[in-house]
Structure 1
Amino acid sequence: MCQSHQIAGQARSYRLLSPLYWRRNPVSQSPLVIERQSAVLRLRFNRPEVLNALDVQLAQCLREVFREIAVDPDVRVVVLSGSGRAFMAGGDLNALRADPVGAATRLIEPMHEAIRLISELPQPVIASVQGVAAGAGLSLLLAADLVVAAEEARFNFAYTDIGTCCDGGASWSLPRAVGLRQALSIALLGEGFSAAEALQMGMLTRVVPQAALDEAVSDMARRLASREPHALAHLKRLMRGASQHSLAEQLEAEHAAFVDCARRPEFVAAIDGFYARRSARVQGVAK
């Protein structure tokens, strides 16, 4: 069962997160810890003893929570992170070894729905990466909209190390992030790489010192939460869908999205705020 912990604001009552369970089970026993900080929802993988390896329970928690987030207008930003020394070091190998086909199906089905939901969420999703991100962990961070990693973070495709191909949409997202040639190199050779290399390849948004990771992610989340959510939802949908459209189709989609934003009162309010800030800057220079 997943565990929720409200930090600030009024948290939505997620279906999986019953108050009775909260009273009976400590946060430390939950595979996924949910923390609400105003409009930012933090999802933290909580299996540090196995470097947050993805098991069926964690995959199911992610699927159910993302279903709820998709219809929660009070959530404006989602942050993914891992407890302890890793973001996520792949899947649960013990379960896969004991029942290869059955465990793979039970694990992949909820994980794949979670990945699809991330791409379709109106809210931006940030991955905060420390330590190792391998296998399923790499697939999850590739599904996120923005990825901030610590300088010490390490990455590995890892699937070929256990004699399989990939899951979690990696064959779709990795070539789009780094290009086909680089994606094939990462996947076929299975060589690990650093945060600096991942940034250079286009896999990451930003790399920061380990000590600055939490603050960098929090700052980014606050900035996103302050933006007009409908505009961000349209931007996410337009960017993610662009490769499936012709230029003419994309121009039409942009037109419709812009008009939808313009008809909202927040649009004029944002323009007024822009002029007010510019006027204040000009007056400051004049003084």
Structure 2
Amino acid sequence: MDMEQSILFNIIDGVGIITLNRPHVSNALSQDMITALLEIFQSLNRHDSLKLLILEGRGSHFMAGGDVELFSLLNQSPRVRQEQMRPMMDQVHTLIRLMIDTHVPIIAKVHGTVAGFGMSLIMACDLIIMADHVKLHPAYIHIGLSPDGLFTFHLPRAIGVKKAMYHSLLGEPIDARMAERLGLVSQVVPQQQLDQRVTQVTDILKQKSSTALRHTKSLLNMSFSSTMKHQSFEELAAFEDCIGTDEFIAGVMSFLQKKKD
């Protein structure tokens, strides 16, 4: 269904496809997009058959940062600028937290340019599959802004503090191959193979246990803030939950059958 003109959302055979749909402005972030994305992620628990999500951008680019219309406050006083932007920034951070907490894996299918909040958006996804021509632009510093959208939470955890400092303070772009070497993305493929590879990964994930996927995502995300003892308890509880599912029985039977074959 079309949640908003700026965002398209469809569920096909258990796969939710979220499309950033403002190609005429390189999918630059607008208030309508934020509102629509929030509505989607707040409603996901109602879709029992949902197995995973794909986040993609329509047109030549994934996302070229924030729409300049969001910064039409330049003639206002500092206090007015801050007060008018604060609600939107609260929504942005709520969106990113919802993405991280979502019970299904999210695949970012990335092509073209990714700038500013576009980087925050893909880093909140669980798998990032990227075309080899992509450039990532941590562009906040160029317009006198510090990063947002949990950019500073995800980037140093992915590539280390010193590399994160370098690219964030200088605003130096990161090309696709460098992003892969640094551990910022899951996989880089030739541009013409991007659709095919995302389809392959999607088909693999669809065959996995929904319970195991949910617990694995949650356990890995909590690991950076968890103590070893707490992580141990969480793993044991998740493992026990998985053992109690029919998916576990089916998985074991399938594995044993493959060994026989």
Q: Under a length normalisation based on structure 1, what TM-score does the superposition of the two structures give?
A: 0.85
Structure 2 partner of 1:57: 32
1: distance between equivalents of 2:47 and 2:90?
Answer: 23
Q: Root-mean-square deviation (CA), in Å? A: 1.4
Q: Which among 21, 24, 46 is matched to residue 46 of structure 1?
A: 21
Structure 1 partner of 2:68: 93
Structure 1 partner of 2:197: 216
1: distance between equivalents of 2:219 and 2:63?
Answer: 29
Aligned partner letter, 2:90: E
Structure 1 partner of 2:52: 77
Structure 2 partner of 1:9: none
How far residue 240 of structure 1 moved from its aligned partner, in angstroms, is 0.4
Which ranges in structure 2 are unaligned for 5 or more consecutive residues? 75-80
Q: Which among 145, 148, 155 is matched to residue 164 of structure 1?
A: 145
Aligned partner letter, 2:227: S
How far residue 105 of structure 1 moved from its aligned partner, in angstroms, is 2.4
Deviations 1:231-274 (Å, cap 9, x if unpaired)? Answer: 01000110000111221221111111101110112212210110
2: distance between equivalents of 1:107 and 1:132?
Answer: 23
Structure 1 partner of 2:77: none
State the SS of the aligned residue for 1:128: strand
Equivalences for residues 60-209 of structure 1 within 5 A: 60-98=35-73, 100-102=81-83, 104-209=85-190
State the SS of the aligned residue for 1:86: coil
Q: Is the 8 A contact 1:60 1:111 kept in 2?
A: no
2: distance between equivalents of 1:66 and 1:95?
Answer: 22
| Bigger Cα displacement from structure 2, 244-253 vs 205-214 | 244-253
1: distance between equivalents of 2:257 and 2:31?
Answer: 52
Equivalences for residues 11-22 of structure 1 within 5 A: 17=3
How far residue 72 of structure 1 moved from its aligned partner, in angstroms, is 2.1
Structure 1 partner of 2:247: 266
Aligned partner letter, 1:37: I
Aligned partner letter, 2:21: N
2: distance between equivalents of 1:103 and 1:96?
Answer: 10
| Bigger Cα displacement from structure 2, 151-160 vs 242-251 | 242-251
Aligned partner letter, 1:55: S
How far residue 214 of structure 1 moved from its aligned partner, in angstroms, is 1.1
Aligned residues: 255
Which ranges in structure 1 are unaligned for 5 or more consecutive residues? 6-16, 18-28, 281-287
Matched, 1:35 2:10: yes
Identity percentage over the alignment?
A: 32
Aligned partner letter, 1:170: F
2: distance between equivalents of 1:70 and 1:171?
Answer: 28
